[in-house]
A and B are shown apart, each in its own frame.
Chain A
Amino acid sequence: MSDAAQKKTPLYEEHLRLGAKMIPFGDWIMPVQYSGIMDEHQAVRNHVGVFDISHMGQLVASGPVTAGWLNEMLTNNIEKLEAGAGQYTFLLNEHGGIIDDLIVYRTNPEEFLLVVNASRAEEDFAWLKEHLQDGVDLRDRSAGYGGVAIQGPRVVDLFHTLLGGNIDLPARNHIVDLETTGMPITIARTGYTGEDGVEVFFRAADATEFWNTVFDQGAPLGIKPCGLGARDTLRLEMCYPLNGSDLSPEHNPIEAGLGFFVDLKKTKFIGRQTLVQAKEDGTANRLAAFRMKSKGPPPRPHYGVWLAGERIGETTSGTLSPSLNQGIGMAYVPTQHARPGTEIEIEIRGQKFPAVIEKKPLYQKT
């Protein structure tokens, strides 16, 4: 392990206590797994699992003109959000390339919480500061706050115990401030796994107590701590993109197949011109999902994608899907070859293995 200074989340000691295997993740040291990726993956699909997401950035923007300003910074339409609602959206550069994908919540009529990727938090903050408008107060509260994602079909049962039976979880994509055992917490009904779930934010000083309360109450439900390994297999089965792998400044949301989160009816936002063009002309490449056709080595990022003897692209993500027990992945391929059913090959250590382009998501709950 490198000697470089690594940031620890407020839950670091809990991870060690639970026997997690820790790995560097950007500037952070994070748990990649506890009991094993397969086991943790199944816990989330069948019961409930908990992920430390304290490394994610939390930016707060407030003031009377904030909604209008954010609408020029982000691709989705802020005006669609009533207080207490959130949406998935993109922060683009002037060329329409993706700086970050994030969720913005309207926590109050004139206040917004942006939950951003850990690896981009500083860059996002600097970019937004640079484009700041008078009358908007922007602050980075990341250092003082922690967060966990609690995901899986038993999440509602867990919170009935945690909050008492008469308090309901917020609706999908909504956020609410609550209190549990004296701690103020913010609960958002969202996630990165395809299961029902929440992301909970709290003061860093309350992190350990909240974490342990969740595990105490969740024990009868089969709750498990889950690491970055299972987070990756769960999100990839759903074809949720990972910034830095599937998304980057070299790609725009239309190419990534995420035009749904771009509102081109808005007359002004950074990167708009490129996206209008991409929508009109179509894009040369498209982010496609694929599944391996045979038992073989699992695909990984940066493997070659072949069609009819020609190298047509490179994988951006790849793993063995624990739910499907098959290799799965995503890759940018020429748009004419991105149609589901297209037979391709993935090059693994010099050998080509058959695969097929599939509809997203790759996994659907039965």
Chain B
Amino acid sequence: MNIPDDLLYTESHEWIKGEGDNIRVGITDHAQAELTDVVYVELPKIGAEAEARGQIAVVESVKAASDIYAPVKGTVVEVNKALEGNPALINTDPFGEGWIFVLKIDRADDLKQLKDAATYRQAIG
């Protein structure tokens, strides 16, 4: 299972990549393997205000719809439009082309509550 060391993680299986004042967010390799066959992604709206651990997007497989959560408080500044035409990018490249949205975060300190790769690896056993 691929768990890049340079990313942060949530219990709900989002990954977080710091980019200055922004964070880029997607779902982990573990999450996409559990879901399999992503067939639809409901992206957040640009400018949407996200609460920490608030539901912000939906990823749907054939079997079920799964909520995606904002890892920390912030404002949506970018969404991955490519997922509208090709939702399977989440399966094929979860940490790259399969990113879901970018948040401009309110407080950098909030990121300290997130898990590092080692802790996440332990959490998913």
Contacts and interface: CB of A to CB of B under 8 A. Distances in A.
Interface of A: 21, 32-33, 36-38, 229, 232-233, 296-298, 300, 319-320, 322, 349
B58 A349 contact: yes
Interface stretch (B60-68, B71-79, B94-102, B114-122): B60-68
A137 B63 CA distance: 41
Contacts of A296: 40
Interface in B24-54: 34, 36-37, 39-40, 42
A229 B36 CA distance: 11
Nearest to A321: B62
Contacts of B36: 33, 36-38
A322 to B, nearest CB: 7
Contacts of B63: 32-33, 37, 229, 232, 319
Interface residues of B, number: 13
B39 A298 contact: yes
B47 to A, nearest CB: 18
A320 B58 contact: no
Nearest to B41: A297
10 contacts: A33-B36, A37-B61, A297-B42, A297-B60, A297-B65, A298-B39, A300-B65, A320-B62, A322-B62, A349-B58
Given A229-B62, A233-B62, A297-B58, A320 B42 contact: no
Nearest to B62: A37
B109 to A, nearest CB: 33
A297 B43 CA distance: 11
Closest 10 CB pairs of A and B: A36-B36, A37-B62, A38-B37, A320-B39, A297-B40, A229-B63, A320-B62, A36-B37, A37-B37, A297-B60
Interface centre among A36, A233, A296, A319 (most CB of B within 10 A): A36
A229 B62 CA distance: 8
Contacts of B60: 297-298, 320
A321 B63 CA distance: 11
A296 B87 CA distance: 11
A38 B65 contact: no
A190 B36 CA distance: 29
Interface centre among B34, B37, B61, B62 (most CB of A within 10 A): B62
Contacts of A298: 39-40, 60, 62
A159 to B, nearest CB: 29
Given A21-B34, A37-B63, A300-B65, A349 B42 contact: yes
A32 B34 CA distance: 11
Nearest to A228: B63
Contacts of A229: 62-63
Contacts of B62: 37-38, 229, 233, 298, 319-320, 322
Contacts of A297: 40, 42, 58, 60, 65
Nearest to A320: B39
Contacts of A322: 62
A233 B64 CA distance: 12
